[in-house]
Amino acid sequence: MDGDLFTVSKRKFGKVVELVQEDLLGVQTGRAKPALVEGVKVEAYEGSFMEVKELAGTTAPDAHSIVIKPWDPSTLEKIEKAIQKSDLGLSPVVDNDLIRISIPALTEERRKELVKQVKQKIEGGKAMLRQVRLEAKKEIDKQKDQSGISEDDIHEMYERLQKQVDEYNKELDEKEKQKEKELMAF
């Protein structure tokens, strides 16, 4: 039973880290990356919301620009408006059948704001890890009254669970340092 518990919790911890990683891709670093705009939601067709990556090809031809080429020309202006309304602070420009976005260099003040944003995202991830740990701990607690499971076994399961949590917290800390370094590098 406890082997399944740790396999399930490890999978859930991994999903949390993946989610945080995806979230961090949306943080502007002053360098053009298609991932910066690919997750923006666009009301493409009457009441149907889709992400930019589902509606267009996105490239970064150089370090300071992103080019978006919609597959359906009727979505061009809708994509432009969605990017303008997003909290990315970008100004898309329609150029014939594509959208060009110039990525401005980040000011020191903006870099510091983004570092704070990264820290918040990491803290959110750690809170999700704690929630998964709490759920797993409840499952361990249910085993206390079962025959053949001693207090030492329960204590060992708690320690094993905490080691997993520590491992994933450390991974999130690494991702935070990496993103912070990326933000402050320019």
> For residue 60, is pLDDT > 50?
yes
**Residues above pLDDT 90, as percent of the chain:** 28
> For residue 186, is pLDDT > 70?
no
Are both 75 and 12 inside the same structural domain?
Answer: no
How many CB atoms are closer than 10 A to CB 63? Answer: 11
> For residue 2, is pLDDT > 60?
no
Q: Does residue 30 belong to any structural domain of this protein?
A: no
Mean pLDDT of 3-26: 87
> For residue 61, is pLDDT > 90?
no
Q: Does residue 56 belong to any structural domain of this protein?
A: yes
Domain extent, residue 49, equals: 35-102
pLDDT digits (tens, 9 = 90+) for 84-131: 888 777 788 888 889 898 887 778 888 888 889 899 999 999 999 999
Are both 93 and 111 inside the same structural domain?
Answer: no
Q: Does residue 175 belong to any structural domain of this protein?
A: yes
Domain end marker among 71, 102, 133: 102
CATH of the domain at 71: 3.30.1360.40
Q: How far apart are CA 82 and CA 84, in angstroms?
A: 5
Mean pLDDT of 22-32: 76
Question: What's residue 1's pLDDT?
Answer: 44
* Per-residue burial over 91-118, b = 16 or more CB atoms within 10 Å of its CB, e = otherwise: ebeeeeebbebebeebeeeebeebbebb
Are both 64 and 12 inside the same structural domain?
Answer: no
Are both 116 and 178 inside the same structural domain?
Answer: yes
Entry pTM: 0.68
Report which of residues 123 and 66 the model is more confident about: 123
Domain end marker among 102, 135, 158: 102
Q: Does residue 138 belong to any structural domain of this protein?
A: yes
Identify the sign of the CA torsion 129, 134, 137, 139.
negative
Domain end marker among 78, 102, 126: 102
Question: What's residue 130's pLDDT?
Answer: 95
CATH of the domain at 17: 1.10.132.20
State phi, psi for 61 to the nearest 5 degrees.
-65, -25
**Residues above pLDDT 70, as percent of the chain:** 96
Alpha-carbon distance values, 181 to 111, 112, 157, 174, 178 (Å): 11, 11, 36, 10, 5
Are both 91 and 125 inside the same structural domain?
Answer: no
